[in-house]
């Protein structure tokens, strides 16, 4: 499968080509950040984190330096870290009737390579529930497919959703009134497919808007790409407008197709009506145009157990996708 990006052609069946796409995406993100005039404070912090992460890779020759951070956790507030260092349990002496299973999500290197396992909002930690943190190994390689949106499990040891869910089950020692998977963005789809595999245990999924499908055939980002790629001759000079996450999404969706991952795993909202006891709430930011296609995609299925809610919130004019600060404060409204 040949695609065109940055004025070059790449073969998605060639691992070296895919790696060059990945590295070019990082470089273009760096260059774009340098063009922003008078950025807001959030963008300034983001830019610094991107630059610092890249410089550390240059200094050390790879990402392994990050193991000193990513394989640590808050020992005062969490315990029972899994052998693959992807899961841990909140310490508490209180008997709760709700369990929150939190799928952590750091889309960029500046997030996933600078965060310990327990880097979650204090509001979530202090929420009146038991809490299981679930992460995907940040140093799982190759980067052309990992982190793989938890479609391919969470680690080399637990490399399928089925194995991953068995490990999740090992933490659950009692019956809860509510068991909630709480996720965002790149896990908007996998949070639902994981809930299918935890059928009878998970009662709710709450996810912020994002990649609701990883299907090569149906992803709105991929459809948009091929609309551009197959454009008529008179639009030959038209530039490809595609955010960096969408470009890598295209590569990973092709990999999932090559691996013949089940449709229920990569395109779960299509099957949601088969799981009537599961309630899914999909929270989309009002100003988030980049991910709007994923919201429109799942609206077509009209499942009675799917609620789509528009959230009137943005961090800044330039950062409209991340609505997590608002959701962390208001999670109880959706459970």
- Mean pLDDT in residue range 318-331: 90
Selection from 91, 85, 183 nearest residue 130 by Cα: 91
Sorting pLDDT into bands at 50, 70 and 90, what band is 39? Answer: confident
Average confidence (pLDDT) over 65-88: 97
Closest CA relative to residue 106, chosen from 4, 186, 210, 20? 186
Confidence class of residue 172 from pLDDT cuts 50, 70 and 90? Answer: very high
Asked whether residue 37 carries a pLDDT value surpassing 80, the answer given is no
Q: State the pairing for strand pair 8-11/87-90.
A: unpaired
**pLDDT score at 34:** 84
Task: Please state which of the ranges 30-34, 144-148, 150-154, 329-333 shows the lowest mean pLDDT.
Answer: 30-34
User: Is 269's pLDDT higher than 80?
Assistant: yes
Q: How far apart are CA 99 and CA 13, in angstroms?
A: 41
Could you give the number of structural domains in the chain?
1
Q: Would you give the distance in Å from CA 143 to the centre of its chain?
A: 14
For 82-132, write each residue's pLDDT tens digit: 999 999 999 999 999 999 999 998 878 988 999 999 999 999 999 999 999
Mean pLDDT check: name the lowest of 128-137, 220-229, 251-260, 316-325.
316-325
200/202 Cα distance (integer angstroms): 6
* pLDDT at residue 178 greater than cutoff 70: yes
| The pLDDT of residue 38 | 67
- CA 37 to each of CA 34, 109, 112, 319: distance values in angstroms, whole numbers, following the listed order: 8, 23, 26, 15
Torsion of CA 328, 120, 60, 56, to 10 degrees: 40
Task: Report the CATH number that the domain containing residue 119 is assigned in CATH.
Answer: 3.40.50.1820
- pLDDT, average across residues 253-264: 97
**Looking at the chain, how many residues does it have?**
335
Q: Which two tokens stand for residue 314?
A: 């943005």
Q: How confident is the model at residue 44 (pLDDT cuts 50, 70, 90)?
A: confident
Collapsing DSSP to helix, strand or coil, 1 comes out as coil
**Counting Cβ atoms within 10 Å, is residue 126 exposed (0-12), middle (13-18) or buried (19+)?**
exposed
Q: What domain range includes position 247?
A: 2-334
Bridge partners for 99 per DSSP: 130, 179
Is pTM beyond 0.75 here?
yes
Compute the chain's Rg from CA coordinates.
20
Q: What average pLDDT does the segment 189-198 reach?
A: 98
Q: pLDDT tens across 6-27, in order? A: 999 999 999 999 999 999 999 9
Q: Is the pLDDT of residue 238 over 70?
A: yes
The 3-state DSSP class for residue 160 equals coil
Q: How many angstroms separate the Cα of 187 from the Cα of each of 56, 59, 284?
A: 28, 32, 14
- CA distances to 14, 130, 261 from 216, rounded to whole Å, are 17, 36, 11
Say which residue, 130 or 36, is predicted with more confidence.
Answer: 130
Q: Which of 168-182, 197-211, 264-278, 308-322 has the lowest mean pLDDT?
A: 308-322
**What span, in angstroms and rounded, lies between the C-alpha atoms of 65 and 67?**
6
Q: How far is CA 104 from CA 108, 186, 206, in A?
A: 13, 10, 13
């Amino acid at each position: 499968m040949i695609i065109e990006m940055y004025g070059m052609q790449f073969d998605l069946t060639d691992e070296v080509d895919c790696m060059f796409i990945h590295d070019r995406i990082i470089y273009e993100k760096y260059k774009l950040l340098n063009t922003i005039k008078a950025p807001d404070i959030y963008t300034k912090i983001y830019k610094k984190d991107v630059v610092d992460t890249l410089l550390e890779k240059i200094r050390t020759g790879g990402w392994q330096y990050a193991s000193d951070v990513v394989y640590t956790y808050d020992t005062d507030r969490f315990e029972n870290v899994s052998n693959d260092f992807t899961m841990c349990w909140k310490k508490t002496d209180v008997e709760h009737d709700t369990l929150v299973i939190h799928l952590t999500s750091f889309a960029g290197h500046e997030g996933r390579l600078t965060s310990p396992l327990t880097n979650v909002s204090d509001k979530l930690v202090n929420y009146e529930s038991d809490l299981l943190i679930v992460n995907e190994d940040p140093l799982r390689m190759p980067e052309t497919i990992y982190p793989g949106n938890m479609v391919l499990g969470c680690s080399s040891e637990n490399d399928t959703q089925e194995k991953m869910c068995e490990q999740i089950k090992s933490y659950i020692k009692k019956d809860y009134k509510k068991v909630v998977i709480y996720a965002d963005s790149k896990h908007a789809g996998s949070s639902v497919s994981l809930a299918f595999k935890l059928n009878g245990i998970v009662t709710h999924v709450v996810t912020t808007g994002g990649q609701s499908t990883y299907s090569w055939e149906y992803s709105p980002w991929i459809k948009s790409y091929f609309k551009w790629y197959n454009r008529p001759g008179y639009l030959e000079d038209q530039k490809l407008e595609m955010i960096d996450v969408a470009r890598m999404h295209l590569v990973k969706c092709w990999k999932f197709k090559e691996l013949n991952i089940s449709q229920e795993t990569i395109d779960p909202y299509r099957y949601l009506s088969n799981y009537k006891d599961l309630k899914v709430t999909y929270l989309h930011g009002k100003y988030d145009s980049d991910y709007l296609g994923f919201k429109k995609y799942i609206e077509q299925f009209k499942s009675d157990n799917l609620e789509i809610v528009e959230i009137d919130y943005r961090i800044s004019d330039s950062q409209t996708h991340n609505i997590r600060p608002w959701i962390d404060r208001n999670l109880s409204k959706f459970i």
